[in-house]
Amino acid sequence: MIPIAKPYLTVEEAQAAYDTILSGWITQGPKVQKFEEDFAAYTGAKYAVAVSNCTTALHLSMIVAGISEGDEVICPSLSYIATANSIQYVGATPIFAEVQPANYNLDLVDVESKITNKTKAILLVHQIGMPANIDDFKILCEKYNLKLIEDAACAAGAAYNEQKIGSHSELVCFSFHPRKVISTGDGGMITTNREDYYNRLKLLRQHGMSVNDRVRHVSDKVIFEDHLEVGYNYRMTDIQASVGIMQLEKLDWIVNERRKIAQAYNKAFKDLDYIRLPLEGSGVFSNYQSYSIYLKPSCPIDRNTIMQKLLDKGIATRRGIMNTHRETAYTRNHEVYNLPVSEDLQDRSVILPLFVPMSKDEVDYIIDSFIEITHPTAVSV
């Protein structure tokens, strides 16, 4: 079986975790601090705050951005449900906007049409590791005095206008889930250029504690902590961070290898007129966190049949990116949404395996199998 994805973890990550365990410091401590410093330097952001996962990163970002009950935040429905859930956590309402069919990211015109006097922020998702047009959304947010928060769960190592994702706006949230480009088992990171956000994010992730454990541990004076506000237990452990440090060192290499696989797919599929490929736009450098193919109505075989036939051949796939407004948790309010592009992308897209390392034989087998199933008379290149 060729899986849809798997993390690239080696003996180096295992050794790093082993050494951290034996050090006796396994919760949030010096390794977390180093991972944060390294990640900030990598992205070009001034600060980075490690947390337990990307969902908690989004939640804390909503709080420090001042989003609260009664507010509206515009986001795509075409995203994992955590995107919209993070808005609900602070009592605000997610307003679903349409996406562009070519890159799966928010459509600027539709977003602007949904801005009201209740709108306080736009949550911009870099879907499948394909960066959205950040500059245009920054201009839109400035025009209407809105906060811009980036859901960069899939975008570590990607770049926009030759600048790594993570430093373009005030709050950028990353995921280190095993399906992502680098992993710490689970975990997340928030990057920011604002010192006030940085300081409050550190408070909120650890129950609002005024002095963290590491500072108290190394101090030669007795320190008593205070809890300055109601916070959360959203910490990353040093075990996870030690793995993250090693993963980050390999990130550019991993992205380069992923791009080679995506380019092999692109070359093989470019002449199939019944599909649309996830190609990069101007100024966009994708990490190809996922490789999603859109099946046009002219495709001779339906999506679900293709997925089953590939599975029969030992190739795992996934359906197109979910539409949150179709999930039971969001259909209970009986609201009617007009999102035909998002729904079509979910219904007519299939995600093919892409991970590091993949052998040439595996890539060729997937290509040949896909072409054989979808167009039996075609000959793969």
Tokens 């980036």 found at: 150
The domains located in the chain, with CATH, are 11-249 (3.40.640.10), 252-374 (3.90.1150.10)
- Split at pLDDT 50, 70, 90, the class of 333 is confident
CB contact at 8 A, 92 and 73: yes
* pLDDT above 70 (res 113): yes
**Tens digits of per-residue pLDDT, 268-321?**
999 999 999 988 999 999 999 999 999 999 999 999 999 999 999 999 999 999
pLDDT attached to residue 31: 98
What are the DSSP E strand ranges found in the chain?
47-51, 72-76, 93-97, 119-125, 147-151, 159-160, 163-164, 171-175, 188-192, 275-276, 284-285, 291-295, 318-319, 349-352
Q: Tell how strand 349-352 and strand 291-295 pair up.
A: antiparallel
* pLDDT above 50 (res 242): yes
CB contact at 8 A, 295 and 269: no
Helix axes 195-204, 54-64, angle to 10 degrees: 120
Torsion angles phi and psi, residue 327, rounded to 5 = -75, 150
pLDDT attached to residue 216: 66
Q: Tell how strand 119-125 and strand 72-76 pair up.
A: parallel
- DSSP summary character for residue 313: T
pLDDT attached to residue 381: 43
pLDDT attached to residue 378: 53
* pLDDT above 90 (res 326): yes
Whether the CA torsion 236, 239, 245, 251 is positive or negative: it is: negative
* pLDDT above 80 (res 220): no
- Split at pLDDT 50, 70, 90, the class of 332 is confident
